[in-house]
Amino acid sequence: MTTQTQDSLIEVRDLEVHFNVGSGTLGSGNARRLRAVDGVTFDILRGETLGLVGESGCGKSTVGRALLRLTDPTAGRVLFDGQDMGRLGRTALRKMRRHMQMVYQDPYASLNPRMTIGDIVGEPLTVHGIAKGAERERRVADLLELVGLDASAMTRYPHEFSGGQRQRVGIARALAVEPDFFVLDESISALDVSIQAQIINLLKRLQRERELTYLFISHDMAVVRHMSDRVAVMYLGAIVELADSRRIYEAPRHPYTKALLKAVPVPRVEGGKKATIEGIKGELSSPLEKATGCRFRSRCPLAEARCHTEVPLLRAVEKGHLTACHLA
């Protein structure tokens, strides 16, 4: 099932990313296939934020890396503004990278500790031949001020800054080449809650001012609700539900989405008692095995016979709301 519209910036069709894991006993060559991403289809509309949520290990980050071709897909297609990313050679891919950037999860590991902030933010300008000398320095100063840092930060090093400030540097570096599309891979999860709010507000402001498009990857359902226009829920390498943010949170249709929402801490007291958090029971299916039924069947309280033998397709249960569930 596709979600194609006439104003899609990103079009993903039947994307698969598989990895060989293990090499058998004493190198016998009996490697197994890890199906990290297993047939994913979705679009990201120009100027929107698509949230991608799911438990750790479900393939979210691999999808993000495949979109930028930091990881080569095993099968399927990724189109950026109509261009097939898989067909681009090295030179063309480098030019394309000006239009798409990633902001990483760990602001402490994503910046080179031996480089000044000025060199970190200015490096993309040099690599892509955009600016040098005084013009490069001026652009770096403007970028730092754009993300809420003083231009005097140019001469300092990453260890002199807090986590939130470092993430602002990472955003400034990504903005340097004036991209259209950002993959935000758990880009606020390592920050304190108060700093998370500041970075979210910064990202939203930049999106408005620069007409940016975001893929916002996170396991935090509360943050995704605040940040996203639409939400795709991922489980064991596949998207199991996709709809606008309000529908996902107010009227979820897939049992896994419902379970995720029940596991979100609720900061209120109901009937004089603390609200309880419901975990997801049951064992995960193996991502090393090809799906022969619903991926969530072993943990789903509603599973019936056909859930074990028929793979549910991602289909429209109402306009704009897609779900991969036989019972939805």
- Average pLDDT value for residue range 180-205: 91
List of residues 6+ apart from 186 with CB closer than 8 A = 61, 105, 217, 218, 219
- Decide if 229 contacts 221 (C-beta within 8 A): no
pLDDT at residue 29 tops 60:
no
CA distance 233 to 240: 6
- Please give the residue that has the higher pLDDT: either 287 or 192: 192
- What does the pLDDT read at residue 263? 79
In the chain, % of residues over pLDDT 70: 90
Higher pLDDT, 267 or 168: 168
DSSP 8-state symbol, 34: E
Q: Strand, coil or helix: what is 96?
A: helix
Q: Tell me, what's the pLDDT at 1? A: 42
- Segment 121-142 mean pLDDT: 94
The pLDDT value given to residue 102 = 94
51-90 pLDDT tens trace: 999 988 899 999 999 999 999 999 999 999 999 999 999 9
Q: Provide the pLDDT confidence category of residue 2 given band limits of 50, 70 and 90.
A: very low
The domains of the chain, with CATH numbers, are 8-24+32-323 (3.40.50.300)
**Using one digit for the tens of pLDDT, what is the confidence trace for 266-295?**
655 556 555 555 667 666 777 777 778 899
CA distance 217 to 186: 5
pTM: 0.89
Instruction: Report the run of H or E that residue 203 belongs to, with start and end.
Output: helix 193-210
What CA–CA distance (Å, rounded) separates 18 from 291? 13
The identity of residue 32, as a single letter, is R
195-251: per-residue pLDDT in tens? 899 999 999 999 999 999 999 999 888 899 999 999 999 999 999 999 999 999 999
Predicted confidence (pLDDT) at residue 27 exceeds the cutoff of 70: no
pLDDT reading at 167 higher than 80: yes
Any alpha helices (H) in 51-192, and if so which ranges? Answer: 60-67, 90-96, 117-127, 133-146, 163-175
The average confidence (pLDDT) of the chain is: 89
95-109 residue pLDDT tens: 998 999 999 888 888
Quote the pLDDT of residue 201: 93
Task: State phi, psi for 84 to the nearest 5 degrees.
Answer: -75, 110
> In this structure, what token pair is assigned to residue 40?
């994913």
